[in-house]
Structure 1
């Protein structure tokens, strides 16, 4: 089972939060607020935050820009992961991914099943890597953001987490680009 190795130092990572919505504003972005609070409470750094409309090319472009920013290690988006015609966040993420973290969606579904039962099948949460940056697309509800953070990301973004975590392999995510 997972555990925190207290003999290791915590390493904060720089996280960007992107809310995807045609209607939310900074004043009523509860899901974004939920993520920001959890990120900072865990000791990580909020690198930047934005709200964009459900527009696949615009979302993919913002993700690409952020994956090329050396001051951003992780991007977490919230919203646009459902099944309706306007839900294009997953497609935008996949336009950017070099590698998909397929088990992220599976584990998120397992966590969601405990909370909302079979309604979990309607989520298309996803994770991936591009340009040495982790990207995660979460549903737009504060509850889903809490579940993803509290049950998955808080652990995988903690260098002390054992038996393994995302932070310890971060320096090697783009090693294929350095090889000759």
Structure 2
């Protein structure tokens, strides 16, 4: 008598399978039994929404706590972690861009033409300083990434870090893990 071989166990490609081929009706019955489809569409949609809600909540908690396992894909990995730490450890002009823009907007509403002109000129000067600071930071980060991660894919990491600097430190997600002045 031939011993029946389990379907999941690997076998040699030239060897016989060791069991008879199932009848079509039996194969179709097995296929139908394996798939678990909810009986009700509304119930399936509700389960799907609930599962997505739980996953989003886990990702949000990971962003707040810095849990590396549950972060969204754009924030995962040692390269992105180093990029976050590199940018969070420095003072940058870009993080003050939004508050400065609000101040300039308020000053431009004032009816004094001289004050409006000064506010616009200071805004342009600040804008140029932000660009120069971003170029300096980007070049430094690119060089450091090439030294630390020579064999890893660092594509997009510099842009990721520069976008992070545009946010005020308190509002950054994932939360900063290093203090200013510390080196990652």
> What TM-score results when the alignment is normalised by the length of structure 2?
0.23
- Computing the radius of gyration over CA atoms, which structure comes out larger, 1 or 2? 2
Higher normalized strand content (fraction of residues): 1
> What TM-score results when the alignment is normalised by the length of structure 1?
0.24
Higher relative contact order (CA 8 A, sep 6+): 2
